[in-house]
Amino acid sequence: MSGTLITALYVFVLACFVGYQVITRVPPLLHTPLMSATNAISGISLVGSIVAAGSHRGVVSTTLGTIAVAAAMINVVGGFLITDRMLKMFKGSPSGPTSAAPPATPPAAAAKPVNGAPRV
């Protein structure tokens, strides 16, 4: 193996390890803002894939660029749909919070002894 390939594999494995460690330690409160940032990065990759598809450097380049455009679009649209769905979960109901009164305890349940001791 060449030195360049070994260095590339080392960087790839290290990036996978660090990425896994970072993702597993993200608190749930930060998932929505990080989703939005990831969507922005996916938008940048979409622009790059459009450039690759339109570079006219050959059939393979155009085909792979077109596939990259489709994959990036699916990623961007799906990310925004999921982010929107997550934000809707945090919104309250339009009429405000409802406070239902707790159900009344029946008189028979109130007179039952608890752990053998009569209620006072």
Phi-psi group of 85: left, alpha or beta (phi > 0 → left; psi -120 to 50 → alpha; rest → beta): alpha
Q: How far is CA 11 from the centre of its chain?
A: 25
Give CB contacts under 8 A, 24+ apart, made by 93-99: none
Q: Is the pLDDT of residue 59 over 60?
A: yes
CA 105 – CA 60 distance, rounded (Å): 74
If 0-12 CB within 10 Å is exposed, 13-18 middle and 19+ buried, where does residue 73 land? middle
What is the rounded radius of gyration, in angstroms, for the C-alpha atoms of the chain? 28
Q: At 12, is the pLDDT very low, low, confident or very high (cuts 50, 70, 90)?
A: very high
Going from N- to C-terminal start, the domains of the chain cover: 29-91
Q: At 113, is the pLDDT very low, low, confident or very high (cuts 50, 70, 90)?
A: low
Over residues 14-54, the pLDDT tens digits come to: 999 998 888 888 887 777 677 777 778 888 888 988 998 88
Please give the mean pLDDT across all residues of the chain: 79
CA 41 – CA 70 distance, rounded (Å): 16
pTM for the whole structure: 0.52
Asked if residue 49 lies in contact with residue 72, where contact means CB atoms within 8 angstroms, the answer is yes
